[in-house]
Amino acid sequence: MKTGENKVAWGRRPIIRLLRTYSSRYIGWYVAGGLFLWLTNYLAVSIPLQIGHAIDALRAGTPLGRYVVTIGLMGAAVIVVRTLSRILIFNPGRYQEYLIRRDVFAKLMRLQPAFYAGQTRGDVVSRASNDVTWVRTLVGFGGLQVLNVTMAVTLAGWKMVSLSPWLTAAALVPILIGVGAVQFGIRRVFVLGRRSQEQLGEISEHVLGTLQGMAAIQGFVAERAFVNRFEERNQAWLKTGIQLALIRAVALPLLVLSGGVAMFMLLAVGGPMAIEGTITVGEMVAFAALLTVLLPTLRSMGWLLSVLARGRASLERIFELLDAPETEIAASPGVKVEAGRGPALSIRDLTFSYPDEPDRQVLRGVSVDLPAGSMVGLFGRTGSGKSTLLSVVARLYDPPRGTVFVDGVDVLDLDLLAWRRRLAVVPQRPFLFSDTISSNVALERDADNERIEQAVAAAALGPDIEALQSGLDTVVGERGIMLSGGQRQRVALARGLFRQGDLLILDDVLSAVDHATESGLVDSLEVLGGTDGGPTVLIASHRLSALRRTDLVLVLDRGSLIDVGRHDELIERPGIYRETWLAQSAGAGPAEEVAS
């Protein structure tokens, strides 16, 4: 998703798209806000004219009272009208920020592992937060200023022209030159703005990674390396920020200067005209006052141009994310197969490579039939492809067409969401949210407590939870840091059991569990399976004690299915299964492992 500087698109398209998809629904707000803004500007330029009239009246010796009252009333009205215009235009900015954030989050939910494999979290976080905030600035303050500048320039310009076209031309030329010069720098602001947001993403990524690995960093006293790397990124970001500030610092005085030159031109050209009597002194003063109204507008213009450029850069990053291709699976509604019972799985000559490494075959020519409702073990050394086979069946990754069938239907033709709803996947590295144990088990609000307790008991977590002070309501800390590896695995297992899916996938979930607990777990899994219409269960493990009571074991070696059979059959045949069995049943069994 990274776009190099050379490819940066400096188009109006992102802005037009923003206006179409988001801003258009607030058209009423903008029209009303624009109206009040127009009034504000109208009053702001009418006041100088009144002052001009008053001065001419003063010279003619006519009473001034009328003008004083009018000017006072107009001044008061400006305050009210100006406030209203800001409210009416800023609020849609906030609403649009809210809508975009909502859409970005919804999109993140639809994107699949294949997308996330190619992203840093920091960059995604930065798009979803900083970039969206810039868009709010763009459509709120930016929108207001665009209207404001346009109106002030048109109104003041029109009044000025009606006072004296010559004077207007003389005053406007330097201003136009100033704006034109600044426009040059703005392209650079766009490029730098984009870079700045990308660098912010790298900083977020570094902070996220550091926080997650804090225990490892501190344990290995590696703080310095992480601080240094952070320092590099932070400095890079600072540099971009300073360059941005520099452009603004040059642009602003340039615009203010052009205003000063305009004032000078007014006096140089207008002074003689007033002396000759082509215009009155009052008109001359009114003209000067109009220019003074324009000056703050010019000052805000430098800022506005840079907000537009940065907002556009952020907008582009957001639309890139919103446009990230969704795997066709998520997009196409497919066949719905009967739910509520364990499916039969059939794997036909499955060869699979991960999308980012298309040349390395992680599974090779795997073919096997798994009956509905069976309990199937997957055995193989680390890296043999167990997790991959399970992800492909769960369709976290897409297998090639015609290789994986669920009740006779190609898994690619299934309705993805309907299929996922039937799955209960407990991954090898379970993720726990920093929430209570019961929320981690149920992943939904208002879940039935009794069902949570059943799942927890079936996952052999009961005694562990009794030992915790708040029981099921214990908050487990970031990623479940409060729990041991085995406890985390069993919370994840309880989550899988709570789902009551038709296909239960357990990826090495018993690896960090001691043998006594493991035995109890296998018992409760057996109760689940075996019943008619019960779920199909797939258990990956390199511990054979967990596979002993399965109906069938698949033996994988470097991506190939080298043997299939019941445990008692496999231990009779020479091969890695038998070797492992002999090794594991000799001695005191394998050492306790910690889930990786």
SS3 content of the chain, % helix, strand, coil (to 5): 65, 10, 25
**Is 387 an interacting residue with respect to ligand ADP (CB under 6 A)?**
yes
Phi/psi of residue 504, each to 5°?
-100, 120
**Is 362 an interacting residue with respect to ligand ADP (CB under 6 A)?**
yes
Q: Are 412 and 425 in contact (CB under 8 A)?
A: no
Closer CB to ligand ADP, 278 or 361, in the complex: 361
Closer CB to Mg ion, 361 or 428, in the complex: 428
* Closest approach of Mg ion to the CB of residue 380, in Å: 9
**Is 580 an interacting residue with respect to ligand ADP (CB under 6 A)?**
no
* Closest approach of Mg ion to the CB of residue 505, in Å: 11
Q: Are 348 and 402 in contact (CB under 8 A)?
A: yes
Q: Which of residues 299-338 bind ligand ADP (CB under 6 A)?
A: none
Distance (Å, rounded) from C-alpha 343 to C-alpha 411?
A: 12
Closer CB to ligand ADP, 117 or 417, in the complex: 117
Q: Which stretch binds ligand ADP (CB under 6 A): 262-270, 356-364, 496-504, 576-584?
A: 356-364
**Is 385 an interacting residue with respect to ligand ADP (CB under 6 A)?**
yes
Helical ranges in 213-222 per DSSP H: 214-219
Q: Are 404 and 391 in contact (CB under 8 A)?
A: no
Q: Which stretch binds ligand ADP (CB under 6 A): 56-64, 95-103, 305-313, 377-385?
A: 377-385
Per-residue CA distances from 101 to 98, 175, 276, 321 (Å): 5, 39, 62, 12
Closer CB to ligand ADP, 380 or 399, in the complex: 380
Q: Are 352 and 400 in contact (CB under 8 A)?
A: yes
* Closest approach of Mg ion to the CB of residue 427, in Å: 9
**List 8, 354, 468, 548, residue binding ligand ADP (CB under 6 A):** 354
Listing from the earlier edge strand, what are the strands of the sheet with 536-540? 409-410, 404-406, 345-352, 363-370, 560-565, 552-557, 375-379, 536-540, 503-507, 423-426
* Closest approach of ligand ADP to the CB of residue 388, in Å: 3
Q: Are 353 and 360 in contact (CB under 8 A)?
A: yes
Query: Which residue carries 């340039």 as its tokens?
Result: 254
The interface partner of residue 353, options being ligand ADP, Mg ion, none and the CB cut-off 5 to 8 Å by kind, is: none
**Is 496 an interacting residue with respect to ligand ADP (CB under 6 A)?**
no
* Closest approach of ligand ADP to the CB of residue 232, in Å: 28
Distance (Å, rounded) from C-alpha 57 to C-alpha 185?
A: 47
Closer CB to Mg ion, 374 or 387, in the complex: 387
* Closest approach of ligand ADP to the CB of residue 396, in Å: 9
**Is 380 an interacting residue with respect to ligand ADP (CB under 6 A)?**
yes
Phi/psi of residue 371, each to 5°?
-65, 155
Take residue 181 and report the two structure tokens written for it: 């010069």
Instruction: Give the binding site for Mg ion (CB under 5 A).
Output: 386-387, 428
Q: Which stretch binds ligand ADP (CB under 6 A): 2-10, 227-235, 243-251, 383-391?
A: 383-391
The interface partner of residue 380, options being ligand ADP, Mg ion, none and the CB cut-off 5 to 8 Å by kind, is: ligand ADP
Q: Which stretch binds ligand ADP (CB under 6 A): 130-138, 155-163, 385-393, 528-536?
A: 385-393
* Closest approach of Mg ion to the CB of residue 454, in Å: 28
Q: Are 285 and 52 in contact (CB under 8 A)?
A: yes
**Is 118 an interacting residue with respect to ligand ADP (CB under 6 A)?**
no
**Is 386 an interacting residue with respect to ligand ADP (CB under 6 A)?**
yes
Nearest CA among 184, 151, 123 for reference residue 35: 151
Take residue 155 and report the two structure tokens written for it: 């109104």
* Closest approach of Mg ion to the CB of residue 383, in Å: 8
Closer CB to Mg ion, 284 or 540, in the complex: 540
Closer CB to ligand ADP, 15 or 554, in the complex: 554
Closer CB to Mg ion, 12 or 429, in the complex: 429
3-state secondary structure string across 72-120? HHHHHHHHHHHHHHHHHHHHHHHHHHHHHHHHHHHHHHHCCHHHHHCCC
Closer CB to ligand ADP, 119 or 280, in the complex: 119
Take residue 577 and report the two structure tokens written for it: 């299964």
**Is 384 an interacting residue with respect to ligand ADP (CB under 6 A)?**
yes
**Is 388 an interacting residue with respect to ligand ADP (CB under 6 A)?**
yes
**Is 382 an interacting residue with respect to ligand ADP (CB under 6 A)?**
yes
Q: Which stretch binds ligand ADP (CB under 6 A): 80-88, 119-127, 349-357, 451-459?
A: 349-357
* Closest approach of Mg ion to the CB of residue 524, in Å: 22
Q: Which stretch binds ligand ADP (CB under 6 A): 197-205, 206-214, 376-384, 444-452?
A: 376-384
Closer CB to ligand ADP, 364 or 578, in the complex: 364
Q: Are 282 and 55 in contact (CB under 8 A)?
A: yes
Per-residue CA distances from 178 to 174, 184, 463 (Å): 6, 10, 76
Helix axes 449-458, 485-499, angle to 10 degrees: 130
Per-residue CA distances from 207 to 1, 120, 211, 233, 314 (Å): 21, 12, 6, 11, 21
The interface partner of residue 230, options being ligand ADP, Mg ion, none and the CB cut-off 5 to 8 Å by kind, is: none
* Closest approach of Mg ion to the CB of residue 590, in Å: 16
Distance (Å, rounded) from C-alpha 65 to C-alpha 72?
A: 11
Take residue 327 and report the two structure tokens written for it: 């795997």
Residues of this chain that interact with ligand ADP (CB under 6 A) are 117, 354, 356-357, 362, 380, 382-388
